[in-house]
Amino acid sequence: MDIALIGGHGKVALLAAPLLVEAGHTVHSVVRDPAHVAEVEATGATAVLSDIEILDAGGWDDLLRGKDAVVWSAGAGGGNPQRTRAVDQDAAIASMEAAQRVGAERFVMVSYFGASLDHGVPESEPFHAYAEAKARADEHLRGTELAWTILAPSRLTLEEPTGRIALGAAEAGEVSRGNVARTIAVALAQPGTTGRFLAFNDGEQDIADALGAVS
């Protein structure tokens, strides 16, 4: 597949890109800062410079045209509610609409454990803007005609990846970014994950086995 990896300089994306390349995919990692190009291309991906925060519909179409899949791993990083909404909600939704227009049928969204319109985060808390933006983006994705998968990892760590997760855990725990990257790569290859919201922690089940059992 030819994959557009949105948020290509993020910690998860930098780990996912070489896995996707190794699996035989062509990866176009979208980054905003020219200073990040060399690091991104060291993964084997092709860096594409674009500021997703300001792209119009035509710009999104150009960015995703010819792609088979989109992996959304971008985020505003919190701290600014307006920018959080602009990136995590508005840009994400714009990418979904463009993917439908240009025929990029597969869409893997990296969300978070517990993402829901009923997230229950008070407006007074800083996390509210992120929770709201991600929930609305996820809900929009569910309503598209895309072959979507929403991955919902729990608290991210920098631990070494084990290649093993606990899928469908009732409570949030933690998961290494490396395991999230591996889950992205496996999900793209597993048609059974289409149309599913998959919450997971680090665990004891091989990632391929865990996702292969999803139907």
**What domain range includes position 111?**
2-212
What's residue 117's pLDDT?
85
Residue position matching structure tokens 């920098």: 158
Residue position matching structure tokens 């991210």: 156
3-class state of residue 174 by DSSP:
strand
Among 71, 96, 76, 101, CA closest to 87 = 76
Q: Which amino acid is at 57?
A: A
What's residue 6's pLDDT?
98
C-alpha 212/C-alpha 215 separation (Å) is 8
Single pTM value for the model: 0.95
Interaxial angle between packed helices 11-22 and 177-189, expressed in degrees from 0 to 180 and rounded to the nearest 10: 40
Q: State how many domains the chain has.
A: 1
Residue 148: which CATH number? Answer: 3.40.50.720
Q: Which residues of the chain have pLDDT under 70?
A: none
